[in-house]
Amino acid sequence: MTKPRQGPLMAGEPVQLTDPKGRSHLITLRAGASFHTHRGSLSHDDIIGGPDGNVIKAAGGTPYVVFRPLLSDYTLAMKRGAAVVYPKDAAQIVAFADVFPGARVLEAGAGSGALSCWLLRAVGEQGTLVSFERRPDFAEIARRNVEQFFGGLPPAWQLVNGEFGPGMDPAQEGLADFDRVILDMLAPWDCVDAVASALAPGGLACCYVATTTQLSRTVEALRGHGGFGEPAAWENLVRGWHVEGLAVRPEHRMVGHTGFLVTARRLAPGVVPPPRRRRPAKGAYEDAATEARETGE
């Protein structure tokens, strides 16, 4: 189920149509259906049964390149409930959270299913992905998006319509010894205890947050828990380049800030992390800054 489709394009699968100006459209092939644009209609039957990478002309004569969408293309064009995790961030999560084939991964906040697709690709058929989504409408959108991309529900995937959060003991619910826990939610700092309970020693927690306030609270919660190594935090920016002969320049538009990523490794039970050698700057912590003002130091 997690292998890329090959062979002729079939009814029921998504394809991407790209016109000569680079504008793309994602459609699902249906026998007897048509795709309509201001340049004329294009029959789905002319695409079905043809090869991946074909060129089909619309009724008005405009040629369209037809490809099965890459996961990055599908992610940006899929139907959304919650905002999707952008491909640049999903790639960073898979790489820096070291999501490997056969891994057991817990995802909290399935949203529209974009990151679920990337994680399922990474864990493969021998892995496990358990995705929590507290909103039934988002869970249904995620299920349809994953099912459409893979051509069916991957056997490695378990979608739970419920909340992964504070007060929960994953170990008691059979959710223990996960290799990775990925959090995409508003308040991941509330779930640190649950994450620690779900992770195996040496496992990794990865949090995706949007604002600097969320970033600060998440990092400090992981530090304060005492069961994780020193967290790492970063963002990534992607800038495309225009290349036309000798006219080589950065694109005028770029994908800038979308979110921050935080990772931290789970320590073995009973192990205390060594004290940090790096001293925080004055005023880095509100209580310390207040005390300094009151004492005049």
Q: What is residue 292's predicted lDDT score, i.e. its pLDDT?
A: 47
Between 145 and 297, residue with greater pLDDT: 145
Polymer length of the chain? 297
Q: What is the predicted pLDDT for the residue at 295?
A: 46
What pLDDT, on the 0 to 100 scale, is given for residue 287? 62
Q: Per the structure block, which two tokens stand in for 273? A: 């992390």
Which pLDDT score, from 0 to 100, does residue 256 have?
87
Enumerate residues 6+ apart whose C-beta is below 8 A from 162. 132, 133, 134
Write out pLDDT tens, residues 263-287: 999 999 989 888 887 777 777 776 6
57-104 residue pLDDT tens: 998 899 999 999 999 999 999 988 888 899 999 999 999 999 999 999
DSSP string, the chain: --SPP-SS--TTSEEEEE-TTS-EEEEE--TT-EEEETTEEEEGGGTTTSPTTEEEE-TTS-EEEEEPPPHHHHHHHS--SSPPPPHHHHHHHHHHTT--TT-EEEEE--TTSHHHHHHHHHH-TTSEEEEE-S-HHHHHHHHHHHHHHHTS--TTEEEE-S---TT--GGGGT---EEEEEE-SS-GGGGHHHHHHHEEEEEEEEEEESSHHHHHHHHHHHHHHSSB---EEE---B--EEEETTEEEE-S--B----EEEEEEBPPTTPPPPPP-SPPPTTSSHHHHHHHHHHT-
- pTM of the full predicted structure? 0.88
200-244 pLDDT per residue, tens: 999 999 999 999 999 999 999 999 999 999 999 999 999 999 999
Instruction: Label residue 288 by pLDDT band (50, 70, 90).
Output: low
Q: What are the tens digits of pLDDT across the range 150-175? A: 989 999 999 999 999 888 888 778 88
